[in-house]
Amino acid sequence: MTTKGRVEELGRPSHGIGASEGHPSARVVPDLNAPRVLVLNASYEPLHVTSTKRAITLLQYGVAEVLESSGDVIRSPSTTLTVPSVIRLRRYVRRPRVHPVPFNRRNVLRRDTFACQYCGASEELTMDHVMPRSRGGRHNWDNVVTACRACNQRKGDRTPDEAAMPLRTHPHAPTFGVYAHGQFAHWQPEWAQYIR
């Protein structure tokens, strides 16, 4: 199939990427080489974050399919394409061995998608120990969550059950190696369901 044929094929709605003439509010992507597209293995396991340019190439050659679109676009004189946010490889590839993700405030915020794990707020975020440290709680992935200042103060020196403040998600050590490489300059909300 010719390149033109590939572009036309990408324009079909079933591929999730295509002409965006009907979306005048779509933002044009300024840097096609910036890491902004999440790549999943055929098994839906996250592999890495790639550039828009590389993602479009994978789609054009039929190596991957679009799962989520970003709403942003790229334009040429004859074509406008919607930029993918999440793509999945059609064939399984062996995942390279990754090192454990460093435990630090920035990575806890990333794991918890920059939201309070009690109320969902995204302002004045702090770190909260699910089991308070004064009661033997440890300072690690399995006991620390993101909490807004108000929820952290309200919970105080209690467990979530004692405070009647159920967690939205349970803390865990992330396995996705991209956390360790700092490739979150272009974090997309659509990624959250794929990198838990």
Higher pLDDT, 3 or 118: 118
pLDDT digits (tens, 9 = 90+) for 89-98: 999 998 766 6
Q: Give all strands (DSSP E) within 41-169, no chain letters.
A: 46-51, 64-75, 80-89, 125-129, 144-148
Residue 176 has pLDDT above 90, yes or no: no
Amino acid at 84: P
Looking at the DSSP assignment, which residues form a beta bridge with residue 44? none
pLDDT digits (tens, 9 = 90+) for 181-193: 444 545 677 887 8
Q: For residue 74, which of 93, 59, 64 has the smallest C-alpha distance?
A: 59
Residue 135 has pLDDT above 60, yes or no: yes
Q: For residue 71, which of 115, 33, 22, 114 has the smallest C-alpha distance?
A: 22
- Categorize the per-residue pLDDT at 151 as very low, low, confident or very high, splitting at 50, 70 and 90: very high
pLDDT of res. 134: 95
Domain spanning 101-173, CATH class: mainly alpha
Higher pLDDT, 152 or 195: 152
Instruction: Write down the residue that tokens 């390279």 correspond to.
Output: 96
What stretch(es) of the chain map to CATH 1.10.30? 101-173
Residue 162 has pLDDT above 80, yes or no: yes
pLDDT of res. 195: 75
Residue 120 has pLDDT above 90, yes or no: yes
Q: For residue 56, which of 29, 81, 25 has the smallest C-alpha distance?
A: 81
- Categorize the per-residue pLDDT at 10 as very low, low, confident or very high, splitting at 50, 70 and 90: very low
Mean pLDDT to the nearest integer, 38-57 = 90
What Cα–Cα distance (Å) separates residue 31 from each residue in 4, 86, 166, 183?
23, 17, 41, 15
Mean pLDDT to the nearest integer, 110-120 = 92
